[in-house]
Amino acid sequence: MVSTSGIWLRRLSKLNVFSTLFLIFVGALVKSHEVGLSVPDWPTTYGKQMFAFPLSEMVGGIFYEHGHRMVATIVGFFTMVQAIWLGLSDAPNWLKKSGYIALGLVVIQGLFGGITVLFFLPTPVSIIHGILAQTFFMMLIFIAYGLSIERSVRSYNNVSNDIRKGALLIGGLVYIQLILGALMRHTASGMAIPDFPTMGGLWFPTFSETMINNINATLFDMDHDMVARAQVIFHFIHRLGAIIVTGVIGYVVYHYRSTIKNIPILDKTLWWIVGIVLIQFTLGAATVLSERLPYIASFHVVVGAALLGICTLFILRCHPVQWTDWSR
């Protein structure tokens, strides 16, 4: 029988996962509204301790940026409590170490968030800040699954190596795609190709001077900033990545569904992946067609994180429950 302490630790791990997903959404709103410097100091907010800042003054961009800091602090607190609790529990050492790693990641993430403000949003730091958020999210899912009842009572372990490799491939590609998304967002390339499904009026972009001029003429008419060729390439690579990810997921479903359907939990997870990737693809198109409306762009980011999360869970469900058995 699981102790009451173990039950509440498990609940905390799940709360931390969903709190972090919400934090990613709040962070996306900051970028989508371009208000990252609406609070110009750190770690204080206009000279005040964070939670002493008056709610009545949380207006405009301050609402998004200060709100982001508050949610991040709460997630950091949850992660610290989780790490300490794991360390004092009878959990296996690999799970305790995972808790410490998650705590280290959230501390580093907070420092990178502060650096982005203090150094006026340097692009490389902002990109790393975004990538670390996704990595931290994956680690929390790993911990939550390690503590879950599902893992402790799992009755199957007959998943083929091909399916396991497929799960790892999907997860790896989604992670890379989110890196490309962070690169696109933080290099102001979100509208570098302002039409969809064509690209600069072409189905197959040439990246020629003529294409770049046509794109900039369109952006001028839309009252958006002009872009360089590199920004157009960043945007195109992200679109290409979306096609590749969707294609690989379709391939895995087509080739391995007959086997996976015999394990209901894997079958359900795979269909969750299919559903989320279709929503994500639609949101990507809507982001361009709506000219990057903040909430649509932010939902595109958080649904991408949710896709990475469900892919991480799929990997864990496909592989052995014991860490030492993975190499076999």
Of 153, 184, 203, the one marking the end of a domain is 153
Residue 156: is its pLDDT beyond 80? no
What pLDDT score was predicted for residue 232?
Answer: 95
Domain of residue 133, residue span: 1-153
| Interval 278-283 mean pLDDT | 95
Same domain, 54 and 203: no
With cut-offs at 50, 70 and 90, classify the pLDDT of residue 325. low
Residue 190 pLDDT greater than 60, yes or no? yes
Q: Are residues 105 and 211 in the same domain?
A: no
Q: What sign has the CA pseudo-torsion 214, 216, 219, 220?
A: negative
- Range of lowest pLDDT (126-130, 158-162, 165-169, 206-210): 158-162
Q: Is the pLDDT at 247 greater than 80, yes or no?
A: yes
To 10 degrees, the CA torsion angle through 251, 255, 257, 262? -150
Identify whether 54 is preceded by a cis peptide bond (ω within 30 of 0): no
Calculate mean pLDDT across residues 34-60.
92
Question: Are 254 and 228 within one domain?
Answer: yes
* Residue 142 Cα distances to 3, 114, 201, 311, angstroms: 21, 27, 43, 11
Band of residue 322 on the pLDDT scale cut at 50, 70, 90: low
pLDDT confidence band for 154 (50 / 70 / 90): confident
Share of the chain above pLDDT 90, in %: 82
What would the mean pLDDT of 253-261 be, rounded to a whole number?
88
CA separation for the pair 235, 239 (Å, rounded): 6
Indicate whether 130 and 223 sit together in one domain. Answer: no
Whether residues 224 and 145 share a domain: the answer is no
The helix/strand/coil state of 234 is helix
What are the DSSP E strand ranges found in 221-270?
none
DSSP per-residue codes, 310-326: HHHHHHHHHS-SSGGGT
- For residues 137 and 177, membership in a common domain is answered with no
Global pTM?
0.92
Q: In this structure, how many other beta carbons lie within 10 angstroms of the beta carbon of residue 324?
A: 8
Q: How high is the pLDDT of residue 315? A: 94
Residue 31 structure tokens? 């970028």
Helix (H) or strand (E) holding 83: helix 61-88
Strand, helix or coil at 228? coil
Assess whether 142 and 254 both reside in one domain: no
The residue among 101, 131, 153 that closes a domain is 153
Same domain for 182 and 319?
yes
What whole-number distance in Å separates Cα of residue 60 and Cα of residue 135?
Answer: 30
Domain boundary among 153, 177, 192: 153
Same domain, residue pair 240 and 100: no
Percentage of the residues of the chain whose pLDDT score is greater than 70? 96
Q: How far apart are CA 134 and CA 311, in angstroms?
A: 12
Query: Cβ–Cβ contacts within 10 Å for residue 74, how many?
Result: 15
Residue 326 has pLDDT above 60, yes or no: no
Number of domain units in the chain: 2
| Residue 103 predicted with pLDDT over 60 | yes
Instruction: Check residue 6 and give its pLDDT.
Output: 85
Between residues 201 and 155, which one has the greater pLDDT? 201
Name the residue with higher pLDDT: 305 or 155.
Answer: 305
For residues 263 and 172, state if they share a domain.
Answer: yes
1 & 136 share domain:
yes
Mean pLDDT, residues 146-168:
85
Instruction: Compute the average pLDDT of residues 94-116.
Output: 95
132 and 178 inside one domain: no
Residue 16 confidence (pLDDT): 97
The answer to whether residue 1 scores a pLDDT higher than 50 is no
